[in-house]
Amino acid sequence: MKEEITGLIVTGGPIDHGFAREFIKGRTFDKIIAVDRGLNAVLHLELIPDAIVGDFDSADEQVLNEFKSRSLPADWEIHKPEKDETDTELAIHTALRLGCTRLILLGATGGRLDHFLGNLHLLYFALEKGIDAAIVDEKNWITVTKHGRTFEGDKIYGKYISFLPLSEKVTGITLTGFKYPLYKKDITIGTSLCISNELTGPVGRMEFDSGILVCVESHD
């Protein structure tokens, strides 16, 4: 059985430090990767990064110098701003190199929408590489899947569960144990059919035949 190695990627988007502090409390991360301006949050959260990645065009210079002055075992991966990948994509490559099998991304939702959409697509990249990855903020837990999933009411991130197609079409969606059940329903990009569903009992099951789904567990 493959050893599970959980990584935390702290990206450069807006992060509620109060939420982040509560979120990481009681959770263990085997590898911590700070991404560019994400160093600010890493400093506030008193985390020790295993890797620091980015072109540092948006990093706070004072924070950057603070980390440079420390005797950290962290790998520094400094890239030119003129590159094909975003800093977050480079961080996921770093996570792969470090052997991560599971990833949590903080700071990947707020701010620029192009960055958020790019980060959402990176969940699919991680999935294809065999990494179970999630984008998390104070209201949302976002994942991408090619397979069915069971949701337990005492473990979901919020009362609402939404499904959106990432591929052009997702076929044969069946929802059992949900307020709005479905049976073998196809959905395509452009539909809002599967937004804001809820469990009716302790367990719900989502299954589908083909395609790629975005799953969002959320609360108000």
Given a cut of 60, is residue 108 above it in pLDDT? yes
pTM over 0.95: no
6-138 folds as: Rossmann fold (3.40.50)
Q: How far apart are CA 127 and CA 122, in angstroms?
A: 8
Q: What is the pLDDT of residue 74?
A: 65
Which part of the chain has CATH 3.40.50.10240?
Answer: 6-138
pLDDT tens-digit series, residues 72-103: 656 777 766 666 688 899 999 999 999 999 99
Given a cut of 90, is residue 34 above it in pLDDT? yes
Encoded tokens for 44: 């506030």
Q: What is the pLDDT of residue 10?
A: 96
Q: What is the pLDDT of residue 73?
A: 55
Q: What is the pLDDT of residue 65?
A: 77
Query: What percent of the chain shows pLDDT beyond 70?
Result: 94
Give domain 145-218's CATH superfamily. Answer: Thiamin pyrophosphokinase, thiamin-binding domain (2.60.120.320)
Nearest to 215 by CA among 151, 168, 138, 122: 151
Q: What is the mean pLDDT of residues 14-29?
A: 93
Q: What is the mean pLDDT of residues 155-181?
A: 97
Given a cut of 80, is residue 105 above it in pLDDT? yes
Which part of the chain has CATH 2.60.120.320?
Answer: 145-218
Q: What is the pLDDT of residue 36?
A: 86
Cβ atoms 191, 169 nearer than 8 A: no
Q: What is the pLDDT of residue 80?
A: 67
Helix (H) or strand (E) holding 132: strand 132-136
Q: How far apart are CA 142 and CA 155, in angstroms?
A: 14
Where residue 1 falls among pLDDT bands split at 50, 70, 90? Answer: low
Radius of gyration over alpha carbons of the chain, in Å?
18
**In degrees, to the nearest 5, what angle opens at C-alpha 161 toward C-alphas 159 and 164?**
160
Query: What percent of the chain shows pLDDT beyond 90?
Result: 74
Average pLDDT across the chain, whole number: 91
